[in-house]
Amino acid sequence: MNIKTRLFVLLIIFSFTTQIFSSSQSIKRDLDKNIDSLMQKVIGWRHNIHEFPELSNREFQTAKKVADHLESLGLEVKTGVAHTGVVAILEGGKSGPMVALRADMDALPVEEMTGLPFASKVRDKYNGLDVGVMHACGHDAHVAILMGVAEFLVSVQDKLKGSVMFIFQPAEEGPPVGEEGGAELMLKEGIWKEKKPDAVFGLHVTNAPNGTIWYREGASMAAADPWKIIIKGKQAHGSTPWDSVDPIMVAFQIGNNLQTIVSRKLDLRESPAVISVGSIHGGVRSNIIPDTVEMEGTIRTFDPGIRDQIFTEITKITKNTADMAGASVEVYLPNGQSYPVTYNDEELTKRVLPSLRKIVGEEMVYRSSRSTGAEDFSFFSQEVPGFYFFLGVNKPDADPFNTPGNHSPYFLIDDSALPVGVKSLIYLTTEFLEGEL
């Protein structure tokens, strides 16, 4: 190869590298210029969504707010996906891969106790009960962040290589019993039928130091299976318990015996597991032994074999315990929607970490322990490589060991942490599309 040919090859390589560099860096420079004005909108959206929360599969006003915003950006929007979900696709100026970004929209049946000026006063019906409704898990932040990300990416559309699917998902907390919903239903209805994304990203705010990012490769969050047991005995007066088959006593014994599954039946060296009783209902009066008690709870696992073993043991222990007392039982396992393990693609995780460290610094990105919480983002990451991470949103001076966490009526989000969420999703998206991850 003569010197002229070498120079020509080097010029081509330099030109190609410069194009990648200039496109990616240009987008980041635009973000730096506009982040303050963008965040004013994001914070305003969050406060409004927080003040008017909606339960799973009932996110009508939230979905309308999202859809109106996306349409105002010039995007073609699909609404009514999995009841109230909203989906839009942004086509970049150049051809390339597709990234999906997901935010969940639903709130919880929790009465807010934060005292914020925009605190929720909303009440609704949940399982037949009158309840307060609150964004106690931070989904208001997720929605507002993704609305901001969509607005910015539309502003740099011509510079994007590839496309971005924005997924605003209902019912992450689980649809009402008897209904379908959430990520599983969105996939069932075919949001990825025409084209699957090459990767999917999502985040979750949590009570951790302000602006920190937490991740775990592989199995990061547990599979979740709700269960229900109905114990049927024989009613009698409380003064003559010998005339009864007492389902309350059977419930006590079942509750105790279920804990022996984890402590005595499973080899926990391989994979942790949790069995919890969350609800017991039976009886209406102090001096009447009832004929029926209902128990409900949850199972958390990281291994399908452990999950199957727990199912078998719960059924066996429950029926044997009831038989010994002369009662009968009905076991519903799972009872309602189950979530699989939330799995972060290991190769993708390695590739995204440098991008996140550019935003907050090496010392602010932490590898976390596995969480026994569950997420239906897991349905998306079963289909394509996914990465799901946590954003710390405590006040800068807060003690994380004494700060109310997700699902607490006192859970607080400090808005100063939200720019990290916006930047993270934008960096991950643009660098993935440019092939820099």
**DSSP tag of 199:** E
* Residues 6 or more apart in contact with residue 74 via CB below 8 angstroms: 154
CB 100 within 8 A of CB 197: yes
Segment 148-162, tens digit of pLDDT: 999 999 999 999 999
Q: What is the pLDDT of residue 437?
A: 81
- Banded pLDDT at 15 (limits 50, 70, 90): very low
- Banded pLDDT at 314 (limits 50, 70, 90): very high
218: left (phi > 0), else alpha (psi -120 to 50), else beta? left
- Banded pLDDT at 3 (limits 50, 70, 90): low
Q: Start-end ranges of CATH 3.40.630.10 in the chain?
A: 11-220+342-433
Active site residues: 106, 172
**Percent share of the chain, pLDDT over 90:** 90
In CATH, 223-332 is 1.10.3720.10: no
**DSSP tag of 261:** I
Segment 96-107, tens digit of pLDDT: 999 999 999 999
In CATH, 11-220+342-433 is 3.90.1580.10: no
Segment 268-292, tens digit of pLDDT: 887 899 999 999 999 999 999 999 9
Between 144 and 399, where is the model more confident? 144
Distance CA 340, CA 301 (A): 9
* Residues 6 or more apart in contact with residue 88 via CB below 8 angstroms: 70, 75, 76, 77, 78, 150, 165, 166
Residue 38's SS3 state is helix
Element (H, E) at 30: helix 3-51
Q: Is the peptide bond before 334 cis (omega within 30 degrees of 0)?
A: yes
**How large is the average pLDDT for residues 153-172?**
97
**How large is the average pLDDT for residues 153-175?**
97
In the numeric block, which tokens belong to residue 377?
Answer: 């983002």
CB 372 within 8 A of CB 300: yes
For residue 16, is pLDDT > 70? Answer: no
Q: Start-end ranges of CATH 3.30.70.360 in the chain?
A: 223-332
Residue 142's SS3 state is helix
Strands 94-104 and 161-169 turn out to be: parallel
Segment 316-340, tens digit of pLDDT: 999 999 999 999 999 999 998 899 9
Q: What is the pLDDT of residue 2?
A: 60
For residue 375, is pLDDT > 60? Answer: yes
- What 3 state SS string does 62-99 have? HHHHHHHHHHHCCCCEEEEECCCEEEEEEECCEEEEEE
Q: pTM of this prediction?
A: 0.89
